[in-house]
Amino acid sequence: MSDGLVVENVSFSYGSRQALSDVGFHVERGRFCALLGPNGAGKSTLFGLLTGLFTTPSGTIRIAGHDMRRTPRSALAALGVVFQQPAVDLHLSVERNLRYYAALHGIAGREANQRIAEALERLGMAERAGEKVSALNGGHRRRMEIARALLHGPAILLLDEPTVGLDAATRQSITNHIHALATEQGLTVLWATHLVDEVRDDDRLVVLHRGAVRADGEAGAVRGERTIGDAFLSLTEGPMS
Ligand SMILES: Nc1ncnc2c1ncn2[C@@H]1O[C@H](COP(=O)(O)OP(=O)(O)OP(=O)(O)O)[C@@H](O)[C@H]1O
C-alpha cells in the first residue's frame, strides 16, 4: 500500500464553508480509481490538496509513500496531473510543448527526446509530434496533456474531469488509454468525474457527495444489482451543499 495513494481523515474548509469532512480512501498501486461526485461534491478541493495548491489543515495524504506534509517535494515529484482547464501553448508544436515541460523538471537533451517519444507513443500520438497544438482536435490535445503529465515518470496520475467537452468516442478512447497505463505499467490513477458511464465494474470507485465519502469499493460491488447511474443517484440524493 505504501506506494499507492493514501488519503486519511482529510477535512478542509473555505472560511466557514466546509468542503471536505473526514475524507479517507486508499488506492493501491496500479489501480484505476474513479472519484465520482456531482458538482460541488469536493473533487476539485481534494485535487487542490493532493497537488499542494492548498495545505492540509487536518488529516494525512501520502503519495507513493511520501507524506505531503513532511516531504512535499518528494510527494509532488511522484505526481502527474491533468487539470480540468487545459494549459498548453497553442502556437507551439506538440513536441515543443512537451520539451518545455520536460525542462521544467530538469530533463533535457537525449533523455528528454526519449521520454517525449515514449510518452507520445503510449498515448497513440507519435505521428503528431510535429503538429501545432492549435491544429489538433480536442481529444488529441487532451492526449498530449496526458503524455506531458507522464514525462517525469510519476507513480500516480491525477486527472480532474479530463474528458469534459469531448465526444463519446473520444472519451472512450482516452479512458481506454488510461486503463491500459494502470494495468500494463503499474500507474496508480485517480480519475475525477461526474460522468457515470466512465466507470467500469472492475474500477475502484469512491463516491464523494457534499464533502464526504458515500461509497468506497470495487464499482461492480458498489452498484450491486443496480446500474451505476442508479447507484450514484441514490448515493447522492439530498440537497447539495
Ligand atoms: N474558493 C472557494 N470559496 C468558498 N467555497 C468554495 C470555494 N471553492 C469551492 N467552494 C465550495 O466547496 C464545495 C466543494 O467544491 P468543489 O469545487 O471542490 O467541488 P467539485 O466536486 O469539484 O465540483 P465541480 O464538479 O462543480 O467542480 C462547494 O460547496 C463549493 O461551493
Q: What is the pLDDT of residues 73-82, one digit of tens each?
A: 999 999 999 9
Q: What is the pTM of this model?
A: 0.91
| Co-location of 135 and 234 in the same domain | no
Closest residue by Cα to atom 7, ligand 1, is: 14
Give me ligand 1 centre to Cα 10, in Å. 15
Q: Check residue 186 and report its DSSP letter.
A: -
For ligand 1, residues with CB inside 6 Å are 14, 17, 19, 37, 39-45, 194, 241
Closest residue by Cα to atom 26, ligand 1, is: 39
Based on the structure, what is the number of domains in the chain? Answer: 2
Give me ligand 1 centre to Cα 8, in Å. 20
Q: Which residues in the chain show pLDDT less than 70?
A: 1-2, 56, 238-241
| Co-location of 59 and 160 in the same domain | yes
Give me ligand 1 centre to Cα 103, in Å. 33
Q: CA nearest 141: which of 54, 83, 222? A: 83
| Co-location of 130 and 185 in the same domain | no
The pLDDT score that the predictor gives to residue 18 is 94
Torsion of CA 165, 158, 37, 58, to 10 degrees: -140
For residue 58, what are the domain limits? 1-78+156-165+177-241
Closest residue by Cα to atom 11, ligand 1, is: 19
Q: By the 8 A CB rule, do 72 and 146 touch? A: no
Give me ligand 1 centre to Cα 189, in Å. 22
The pLDDT score that the predictor gives to residue 241 is 46
The pLDDT score that the predictor gives to residue 239 is 53
SS3 label, residue 112: helix
Cβ neighbours, 10 Å, residue 133: 20
| Co-location of 181 and 145 in the same domain | no
SS3 label, residue 164: coil
Q: Encode pLDDT of 171-197 as tens digits.
A: 888 899 899 989 998 999 999 998 888
